[in-house]
Amino acid sequence: MDHTETLLDIQDLRVEFPISIGTVRAVQGVSLTLKRGEVMGLVGESGCGKSTLGFSLLRLLRPPGRIASGRILYHGRDIVAMEEKELLAVRGTGIAMIFQDPLTSLNPLMSISEHFVETLRTHEKGISRHDALERAGGMLESLGIGTNRLHEYPHQMSGGMRQRIMIGLALIMKPDLLVADEPTTALDVIVEAQFLDLLQTLRESLNLAIILITHNLGNVAQLSDRITVMYGGTIAEVAPAQALFDEPLHPYTQGLLASIPNIRLEQPRLHTMPGSTPDLVDPPSGCIFHPRCGRAMDICSRQRPPAFLRNGHEVSCWLYGDAP
């Protein structure tokens, strides 16, 4: 797998939602890179900005969301500054996105084959129906679905099967990046495991980079090369998956890991973190985690920690470096 080429380079991204009571600072200066074929798990409690970051990558923010500043370099081209025409090409064939609930994304009045034909024709104007169906059939086979099901409608399929169809539609134009936002939340545990296996197979056969967004750290452990932990619109820690589990450095990551049952066997019971997630309209000063942090120091409420490098982790915490 070629892990050397940078596919995505997010630089100091800020995203906000101006609302009546103020401005929700959903993403507050996030920098992150992704290599070709790399799988990045993006985790954090609900409301920490994961989906906002995901939608920003395709400039598909729900109103009134806007990218306030920063750059998103995809193959070196800035998505933030891109003209509509180029952006549409990226959306169709470069970066694909799937969501939690495939039923809302599939049209109940269209058969599976019609979904594929429509998707292919949007991006390859001249493609014949015959060729489109052939491509769709090939895709279904690689997803472990019989081609006889091409003529079925979404309601005739199980949730797991529909999620596979969504993946197929997302990948039919051979993108090199898939953003999957909580793709298994609606699935039961067995189907979820099968789905994660499928993602693993696809990333290998297609050299596909994946950003796998989830609130469940346990989910991403197997599949991810690296894991990014977000808190309150900022990145707390980025580390190779195994290193993050073996030696979480950021106090928030430590709390998150301790709250997962069974993942660390020495944890006999479920811990929960005290306090609640921050108000992103009026976020705490300094380190956004400081009101909940058991190790907070004087500087923590005064100055936002930069990312320090420690044992291969990038960790935004004053425990790992001094103010410049």
Ligand X SMILES: Nc1ncnc2c1ncn2[C@@H]1O[C@H](COP(=O)(O)OP(=O)(O)O)[C@@H](O)[C@H]1O
Kindly tell me which residue out of 50, 162, 290, 313 binds ligand X, with binding defined by CB under 6 A.
Answer: 50
Q: Which two tokens stand for residue 52?
A: 């906002």
Tell me the H-state helices in the chain.
50-56, 84-89, 102-105, 112-123, 129-142, 159-171, 189-206, 217-220, 241-246, 251-258
Residue closer to ligand X by CB (options 50, 292) is: 50
Rounded alpha-carbon distances, angstroms, from residue 124 to 83, 86, 90, 98, 165? 20, 15, 14, 21, 20
Give yes or no for a contact between 311 and 247, defined as CB atoms under 8 angstroms apart. Answer: yes
Q: Which residue has the tokens 């979404």?
A: 154
Question: Is 305 a binder of ligand SF4 (CB under 6 A)?
Answer: yes
CA distance to 220, 269, 270, per residue, from 262 (Å): 15, 9, 9
Angstrom distances, CA of residue 247 to CA of 34, 89, 91: 22, 41, 37
Write the interaction track for ligand SF4 spanning residues 268-297; mark x where CB under 6 A is met and - where it is not: -------------------x-xx--x-xxx
Residue 52 has phi, psi (to 5 degrees) of -60, -45
Binds 253: which of Mg ion, ligand X, ligand SF4, none (CB < 5-8 Å by kind): none
> Rule CB under 5 A: which of 63-82 touch Mg ion?
none
* Complex with ligand X: residue 41 or 44, whichever CB lies closer: 44
**Minimal distance in Å, beta carbon 44 to ligand X?**
6
Q: Which does 292 bind (CB under 5 to 8 A by kind): ligand X, ligand SF4, Mg ion, none?
A: none
* 280 scored as a contact of ligand X (CB under 6 A): yes
Q: Which is nearer to ligand X, 26 or 211 (CB)?
A: 26
305 binds, among ligand SF4, Mg ion, ligand X, none (CB under 5 to 8 A by kind): ligand SF4
CA distance readout (Å), 86 to 70, 80, 92, 287: 19, 11, 10, 37
Q: How far is the CB of 208 from ligand X (least distance, A)?
A: 22
User: CA 187 to CA 16: how far, in whole Å?
Assistant: 31
- The answer to whether residue 219 forms part of the interface with Mg ion (CB under 5 A) is no
Single-letter residue type at 275: G
Kindly state the smallest distance separating residue 50's Cβ from Mg ion, in Å: 5
Binding mask of the shown chain, residues 227 to 256, with x at each position contacting ligand SF4 by CB under 6 A: -----------------------xx-----
The entry of ligand X, ligand SF4, Mg ion, none that residue 296 binds, CB within 5 to 8 Å by partner kind: ligand SF4
> Would you count residue 239 as binding ligand X (CB under 6 A)?
no
The yes or no reply on residue 51 touching Mg ion (CB under 5 A) is: yes
DSSP letter for 320, please: G
**Amino acid type, 45:** E
Residues that bind ligand SF4 (CB under 6 A): 250-251, 287, 289-290, 293, 295-297, 300, 305, 317-319
Q: By the criterion CB under 6 A, which residues form the site for ligand X?
A: 17, 19, 24, 26, 44, 46-52, 62, 65, 280
